[in-house]
Structures are given as C-alpha cells and as structure tokens.
Amino acid sequence: MATHPVADLRIKDAVVSRVVALLTAGTSAVPPAALEAPGTQMRALRTVCLACAAYAASVLDNAFAKLGYEEREMAFARCDDILAEFSAWPFGTNSPGSSGSKRREGPRIAMGSSGNNGREAVVGLLVEVRKELVGGDEDTACELVAGVLEVLSKLDSLL
C-alpha cells in the first residue's frame, strides 16, 4: 500500500528491479543488474541490506507480483537464506547446524528434494561482500550491519 507519493517512478522501478534480479537469480553468481553502479562503495552489501530490509518489512509481495508461484517461493526462500547468512558476524558463519540459524531443513516447496540447503545460492554474494571488506572501520560497520540484520531476522517473533 502506498503511504506517500513517489516523486520519480523510475527510481522505484530501478530499486524493485535490483531486488528482483538478486532474488530470482538462477545461479550463485551475483547478477550485475542487482548491484548499484560501479564505483559505489560497498555495493554488494548495500544490495543485501536493501533485499533484507524489504523482506523484513513485508513489501516484497508487490515486487514479486509478475512472478509465477514457484519463482516467487524460490525468491522468498533465497531472501531468507541471504538474511540468515548475513545476520551473523563474520558474514557467512551462520551454517545450518548453528544455533542462530532460522533456516528450514529438508525439501522446500518448489525446490524439489535435492537436499540443497540454500547456502549454495548465496555463496557468490558472500564472495562479493568479502571482496569489499578491507578491514578497520569498514569491518566495524559491517559488524553493525550484521547486528541490524539479526534484529530484522527476528522481527516476526518479537511482534
């Protein structure tokens, strides 16, 4: 539901297309359409934060309106996996057996019973984000991002 007027619909469409490109990618590689323009600082991590914030705010339904049922379910599952992997510091340490993971085990709807735990779907994103980390203040800021994403991952249980 729109709660405010949008001054430039092109910006909104660009943001929606970035999120959809990231969450509907068929491989672990990060699609270039999901990232901001080259030269933008921490562009992969910004994309992760955008997708996770939209997921936690439950505003992805409209973004996925043009997708079929199976694509939609896979996109939500991928976003859930991304949120799980980036809500722990250092990024990517939220393995299926760890206590902080909210990951569902077993076969998922529309994903068959291949045993894919979802981690493979975000490996490319983890690699891209780790390339952006250079140490120092950036790592401290990324630890803060992980903390915020952890809170976002638990919003449903807090309400």
90 HSE (CA, 13 A, CB side): 8
Q: What's the pLDDT tens digit per position in 137-147?
A: 677 888 999 99
Q: What's the pLDDT tens digit per position in 81-130?
A: 999 999 999 898 875 544 444 444 434 444 443 444 567 778 989 999 98
- For residues 18 and 33, the answer to whether their CB atoms sit within 8 Å is yes
**Residue 20 pLDDT more than 60?**
yes
Instruction: Give the pLDDT of residue 64.
Output: 94
Instruction: Give the pLDDT of residue 110.
Output: 44
User: Could you give phi then psi for residue 112, rounded to 5 degrees?
Assistant: 75, -170
- CATH class in words for 9-158: mainly alpha
CA-nearest of 88, 107, 71, 99 to 147 is: 88
Instruction: Give the pLDDT of residue 111.
Output: 42
Helix residue spans in the chain (DSSP H) = 9-23, 43-56, 60-63, 69-86, 119-132, 137-153, 155-158
Residues 6+ apart with CB under 8 A from 139: 133
CA-nearest of 53, 36, 27 to 127 is: 27
Instruction: Give the pLDDT of residue 97.
Output: 45
d(CA 85, CA 149): 10
- For residues 82 and 122, the answer to whether their CB atoms sit within 8 Å is yes
